[in-house]
Structure 1
Amino acid sequence: MSGNRAVAYIEPGVVEVQTIDYPDLVLHDGPGVHPQNAGRQCRHGVILKVLATNICGSDQHMVRGRTTAPQDLVLGHEITGEVVEKGPDVEFTEVGDVVSVPFNIACGRCRNCKERKTGICLNVNPVRPGSAYGYVDMGGWVGGQAEYVMVPYADWNLLRFTDRDRAREKLLDLTMLSDIFPTGFHGAVSAGAGVGSTVYVAGAGPVGLAAAASAQLLGAAVVIVGDLNPERLAQARSFGCETIDLTQDPPQAQIEALLGEPEVDAAVDAVGFEARAHGPDAGEAPATVLNTLMEVARAGAGIGIPGLYVTEDPGGVDNDARTGALKMRFGLGWAKSHYFITGQCPVMRYHRELSQAIMHDRVQIAKAVNATVISLEDAPRGYAEFDQGASRKYVLNPHGALDGVTAI
């Protein structure tokens, strides 16, 4: 095959669907590929026909011009697909398998992988530990918002669904396993959400909604979601969350009105570095969420931080923000003996168990995040609407596997 339609970043605010090369089992030089990765042989890899691939808030950071992403970088790290070709070193994955791809690319051989820290694999990215498909400074692995994509270290990375027919029936939920659902779950687990706990989730975007649904799955008594966007708050209420409107009274006062006390047992930052200050017409203030969580989390509580923070932000509000140096009230967190867990979610730590919860109808994650199917060619519209605050998780449908499917 000679062609492959894919979504590429062009410039701030602009993506387009291009025809790129059909993948093979080599990481070729191209936009964003680190020179030490160019030409890397992947006999251990497979080629996937992409059945579903999602637009992520992390992609949106790049598309807004808030990173150093190069022109023509093919986007997309949330991938579910069918194996159409396998490399000669692939032993246990077969052509025809339906699989979920963790957004973390991991070798399975290094110290961190063996310690289940697959978000910071030491062998796939010459720049720093950790890698992902279609993302700036992550080694240059080609993204999966495409018709076809190559996945390295397939036997290690792929989650294979043994019941292919059932997997296709549940595809809209299962596509959330590549990132958003495990990432939200990781945030809730990291924060200490559990049976009978009270949980505050900052941010009602897709990751925040996934974190809220995860806290419910873990047995939380009350899950409170805070945001500035009324449509997103309504989506959180649609599956049983309490909400607070951050354009109104201070978060502690609103939490106290709901719980009878101003603090919660666990707190999750699902916003990241593009946070805005609270109040009507508030401007950007990147440490707002972290400082608020230290205020509303009880002494000894955990703060899970699945929201993305970067080391370089060309659009930062000041010189400190441009290098990821935030004005945090860390002394408050220290005084309250908080613990913080940050970084990429190690998807493989959670995805098998979460797939079982989906398959056995213990959670309706696509409904919780308002999964909305659009065509690959419609990706520019999806990015534009998401950037305007639409309360939807856009799922691209390159081969029609999700035709007629809606979240239920």
Structure 2
Amino acid sequence: MFDKILIANRGEIALRVIRAAREMGVKTVAVHSTADSDAMHVRMADEAICIGPAPGAQSYLNIAAVISACEITGAQAVHPGYGFLSENATFVQALEDHGITFIGPTAEHIRIMGDKITAKETMIKLGVPCVPGSDGGVPTLEEARRVSEEMGFPVIVKATAGGGGRGMKLARTAKDLDNAFGSARSEAKAAFGNDEVYIEKYLGTPRHIEVQVFGDGKGNAVHLGERDCSLQRRHQKVFEEAPGPAITPEMRAEIGATCAKAVADICYIGAGTIEFLWENGEFYFIEMNTRLQVEHPVTEAVFGVDLVREQIRVAAGLPMEFTQESLGEPQGHAIEVRLNAEKLPSFSPSPGRISQYHAPGGLGVRMDSALYDGYRIPPYYDSLIGKLIVHGRDRAEALARLDRALMEIIIDGVDTTIPLHRELVRNRDVIAGDYTIHWLEKWLEANL
């Protein structure tokens, strides 16, 4: 086991890793920008080191600075959290070159899954069901027209190197394709430095279902059920739950076994998430995230495991603590809502000083946040300031618990998305679990 690990992240996820490491008797090093010198993860770690100025590109994304921090502190491994360098193959390779362990998958697996076309080709070979689409990138508008007409409209044009909804444009008819193709390429070039795009069949009423997988890098892997993340705004998840309201035990067993076999076959190591669109009982692969997900706590709640602890253990060469048989079926129901420092209805960032903070509590309530009274939220990073997770014996109890917890929480001094979640938890469609990936944006249009 490692003696000391460095967490190459900030905020609630950095604090989450510190807590797991402390329970394991592993010392932690926090890195931070000048803007985060008073952050909670800096206070809670065993050591802290400043790696640059406020902008993320000059601090949390600075590979040389992170590696230097490892060498200065003697950290043997790096946990990347999510975002920043968590899916950067160059970073993983640089750590390996310096004899530092990356707590996550190999650089090769990150590269394969980081390219949407290569990922899809790989998954097809591994027997994972995929959305019908082009065979690789589509270089010209003429080719885009041919492919789209063959599969039939509507279609969606996607950036090969895309993510978070960027470089993704819908063409409902042939007339829409010219603009969608050009816009997707331009946006992809600006966001990712790569204007390659591909085309997929557009599904009209899908849910977003993702399967949590975990491998030991030696050909053994398990799945930990699914999460439904269909409530999204601009392709950003807002409300996540496990198990999925529309997924039967038979569906879970079948798609879970398919995903576990796929990651076992490539000797994947650590946590990963295979994301699907689900419609009319069919799963269609869209991408694999080679890291811990923001919504991992709902899986932990229904399976009674600590995924961060397991990440650290397998990275240190230890065997997985669970098997598919020991995991069994998900127990009860869990829901997570993302709390952002944003002003409604525009969802514009709302940085500032927290004048009062009170976390909700009680049975089945977990609050993952790095907030405290007097903390100043900096304007340089993602607006996520906390995750409220509840667990109940069934979905009805989880929703009731979430409703109660949302009424208890106090975050004063900045605007937040808490009022949105108070509305959603009492909405008839949400209570019934009757929604698709398009539901929230339509509701926001009508209600905010």
TM category (shorter chain) comes to 0.3 to 0.5
> Higher relative contact order by CA 8 Å / sep ≥ 6: 1 or 2?
1
Structure whose residues are more often helix by fraction: 2
TM-score scaled by length of structure 1: 0.32
TM-score scaled by length of structure 2: 0.30
Q: Which has the larger radius of gyration?
A: 2
Structure whose residues are more often strand by fraction: 2
